[in-house]
A and B are shown apart, each in its own frame.
Chain A
């Protein structure tokens, strides 16, 4: 599905973009591509949905925010509608329907845990079911990159 060149480009880009005025030119030099080829390839990968994002992921905790994983179980026929409502909130960054009795899972990034509780209360009200959260007590691993 991915050509060898695309794999090399994405692997290199997962490690990080060169901090230079013309970062794609630098990348191209490393990979034997022209600047225009790099940019075109990336646009194409973005269009195909393979390149999700080229940018930064802020560490919300360093910024003083809290994050948590939460879930709510609702009848299957209402699940998608409820999940869409949850996903539209600005504090909800991920929301998935999962094949399980506990069928809606989402992540919250908020100013503090009081705000998390308030959001969960509102969601519970809208979902007509109790939304609960599972805050992290310890991080063993977080790796956003993936060798292709």
Chain B
């Protein structure tokens, strides 16, 4: 699955720093430049290169949904018949309130193959959305996995310890 691409030492160090996050100062790229011993301009062109090569998806904000009006979110594991995977996967992916939709490995005692993250304003609204989806797509076998508690949410360090 991993497609290896060429990546320079500077790119590696920059990827880890960008994943850590930018400082909220007037010239954040200058701070990174000083840490890596290169010019601010070099940082900016290297970031452009990382975006072009799709090593980073974007440089921007990640927000916490549950504190910004979307309190409810639920992971749903759906059991979808083999022959309907494409149709159902595409239908689910087209919904604006669904942010993630993956086909995943199953086990005999865990037959759910499609996983979605569903977002709504409240837990109740989430539940209703999921029930509507189930009816619309004629899926009767699914599990709603509500978050009890977030234990860890962090970025992995790829190249630096």
Contacts and interface: CB of A to CB of B under 8 A. Distances in A.
A109 interface: yes
Given A15-B60, A98-B145, A146-B99, 4 more contacts: A53-B62, A63-B15, A109-B156, A134-B106
Contacts of A66: 1-2
A141 B26 contact: no
A17 B40 contact: no
B105 A135 contact: yes
B93 A140 contact: yes
A54 B60 contact: yes
The residue among B7, B110, B156, B157 with the most chain A CB atoms within 10 A of its own CB is B156
A52 interface: yes
Interface string B132-149: 000000000001111111
A141 B98 contact: yes
Interface of B: 1-5, 7, 15, 18-22, 24-30, 40, 44, 47-48, 50, 53-65, 67-70, 75, 85, 89-90, 92-93, 96, 98-107, 110, 114-115, 119, 143-158
A44 B65 CA distance: 16
A55 interface: yes
Contact of B152 (A50, A106, A134, A135): A106
Contacts of B54: 59, 62
B22 A55 contact: yes
Interface of A: 1-2, 10, 13-17, 19-25, 35, 39, 42-43, 46, 48-66, 69, 80, 83-84, 86-88, 90-100, 102-103, 105-106, 109, 112, 132-148
* The 6 A-B residue pairs with the shortest CB-CB distance in the complex, in nearest-first order: A87-B152, A56-B18, A141-B93, A13-B61, A56-B56, A140-B101
Contacts of A48: 67
A49 to B, nearest CB: 5
B147 A55 contact: no
Contacts of A52: 61-64, 153
B60 A16 contact: yes
A100 B19 CA distance: 32
10 contacts: A13-B61, A21-B27, A51-B64, A55-B155, A62-B5, A64-B3, A100-B144, A136-B103, A136-B104, A138-B103
A141 B61 contact: no
